Amino acid sequence: MNFLPFPELRTERLKLRRVLKSDCDVILYLRSDEQINKYIKRPEHRKTKTKEDALKHIEKLDTGIEEGSSVSWVITVLDNSKVVGTICLWNISEDRKTGEVGYDLNPDFQGKGIMGDAMNSVLTYGFKEIKLDKVTAYTHGENTASKNLLERNGFNLAEGLIDEGNASNIIFEILKVDFKRV
């Protein structure tokens, strides 16, 4: 299974659409801005430092969509087509039972419930359309805003799970049976 045609999602105030090559500048910003990435530790080969890196990242997102291993959206506010963030389901298992959610948001739009709306929409899609049984999320232990977002959306701390690649991260998870659409 791939994610074509692409699953565009809408909430009362948001549109989640496919990442396009024309989004290159905003992807570069979201993946390289110091404030946005304060708690993110990426290996050198996954860092986005140039427009070329951003285009390569978009190509990787396209491959994930075509192969069915990930699906990524840019987040726009309905009354303004400006991209304010991204959200994705990735690391989708071959049996399509588990996946991981990842997200980032322009600081000018944080604290307005935008990511909560986007998260709810993406979880609904993941559980109902992909038929995932569980979604995980990795976040830095000091990233209070991210932890609060996950808890508000029904995630629980996955006691005993460790991020092998980053000891500062903690892992949250939500099971399909526990998901209640907000």
Tell how many helices (H) and how many strands (E) occur in the chain. Answer: 4, 8
Q: pLDDT tens digit string along 43-74? A: 898 899 999 999 999 999 999 999 999 999 99
Residue 2 binned pLDDT confidence (cut-offs 50, 70, 90): confident
Q: Flag whether 4 is in a domain.
A: no
Across the strands, what pairs with 90? 100
* Residue 19's CATH number: 3.40.630.30
Q: What is the pLDDT of residues 133-166, one digit of tens each?
A: 999 999 999 999 999 999 999 999 999 999 998 9
Whether the per-residue pLDDT at 36 is higher than 80: the answer is yes
C-alpha distance across the termini of the chain, in Å: 28
| pLDDT at residue number 182 | 56
User: Domain count of the chain?
Assistant: 1
Is residue 16, in this structure, part of any structural domain at all? Answer: yes
Which residues are 80's β-sheet partners? Answer: 77
Q: Give the Cα separation of 118 and 84 in Å (integer).
A: 11
DSSP character for 5? S
pLDDT tens digits along 87-125 = 999 999 999 999 999 999 999 999 999 999 999 999 999
Residue 28 lies in a domain: yes
Q: Judge whether 51 lies within some domain.
A: yes
Residue 96, domain extent: 9-178
Question: For residue range 75-86, what is the model confidence (pLDDT) as tens digits?
Answer: 999 988 899 999
Residue 121 included in any domain: yes
Tokens encoding 38: 């304060």
Full-model pTM: 0.96
Query: Is 130 contained in some domain?
Result: yes
2 is a domain residue: no
Kindly state whether residue 131 falls inside one of the protein's structural domains. Answer: yes
Contact 167, 124 (CB under 8 A): no
